Amino acid sequence: MNLKNVLAVITGGASGLGRAVAEHIIGAGGKAAILDLQEAGREVAEQIGAAFFKCDVAVEAQVKAAIGAAVQALGGINLLVNCAGIVGAGKLVGKDGPMTGEYFEKVVRINLIGTFLCDATAAAFMQTNVPNEEGERGVIIHTASVAAFEGQIGQVAYSATKAGIAGMTLPIARELAKSGIRCVAIAPGIFMTPMLASLPQEVQNSLGAQVPFPPRLGHPKEFAQLVESIVAIPTLNGETIRLDGAIRMAPR
C-alpha cells in the first residue's frame, strides 16, 4: 500500500510515537484517526488534520465504539497502529513490599489486552475491504519494545506485556493471512518521547550515548518511517523488527 491510500487508526496518537505516525501519514496524503485517553488529543487532531476519538483501550466497549466511529469518519480502515500504553515501572519486590497483582494486571490490561482488543476490532472491519492488486486488505502494526528481550530491573510488568505483544504477532499474521491482512511489530529502543524529553539534558545525553550507532535517542519520525516501510512492503509479515541502533539493554 501507498500512504496516500491509507485510512489509519492510531492508538496513543496524541503524543510521542503515535502522533509522529499520524503526522507522517497525513503529510503523505493519507487519512488518520487518533484514539487516545488524553483529551489533549482533540487539539492535536485539529492541528494535524486528523479525527479524534477519546478511548481507553483497556475497555472493550470503548474500543469497539471508538474504532467504529473512526471507520465511519475515515470511510474505512486499512491500517491500525497500536501505540497506546504505559511504562508500568516497578520491582517484583520493592521497598514497600511485593508488587500487587492489581498493579501488574493494570499494566497487562492496558498494554497487552488493549492491543488485542484493538487488533480484533480493526481486523473484523478490514476483512470486509476490497483487496488491492496484491490481495491485501489491511495491515496491523504493534509497538513492542527492546524490553521484550532485555527487560531491565523494574520492568517486570512492562517487559511481560511487550513480550506478549511480540509473541502474538506471528499467530495473528498466520490467522489473518487468508484475509490478506498482515501483522508486524516494531520493537523500539530508547526514543525521544514526551517522558524522556522531560528529563534533564545530561540524562538524555547519557541515555543516547548507550546506543552504539547513532549514539543518540531515536526520533519519533524514524518510527513513523518504519511504519511507512511496513505498509509499503507486502512481504514484511509476522515479524518483530528492532528499531534500536543496536543497543542491548543492561540489567539496570
8 A C-beta contact, residue 103 and residue 156: no
* Residue 78: all three cell numbers together: 486499512
- What is the value of pTM for the model shown? 0.96
Catalogue the active-site residues: 158
Helix 114-126 to helix 156-176 angle, to the nearest 10 degrees?
20
Whole-angstrom distance, CA of residue 25 vs CA of residue 77: 13
Over residues 18-23, the mean pLDDT reads 98
- Identity of residue 45: A
Over residues 99-105, the mean pLDDT reads 98
Q: What is the pLDDT of residue 127?
A: 98
Over residues 211-226, the pLDDT tens digits come to: 999 999 999 999 999 9
Over residues 34-62, the mean pLDDT reads 97
pLDDT at 182 over 90: yes
- Helix, strand, or coil (residue 120): helix
Average pLDDT, the chain: 95
Whole-angstrom distance, CA of residue 215 vs CA of residue 70: 39
* Residues linked to residue 187 through DSSP beta bridges, in sequence order: 242
Pick from 241, 123, 250, 130: nearest CA to 182: 123
Domains of the chain: 3-192+220-241 (3.40.50.720)
pLDDT at 200 over 80: no
Sign of dihedral through CA atoms 14, 20, 26, 30?
negative
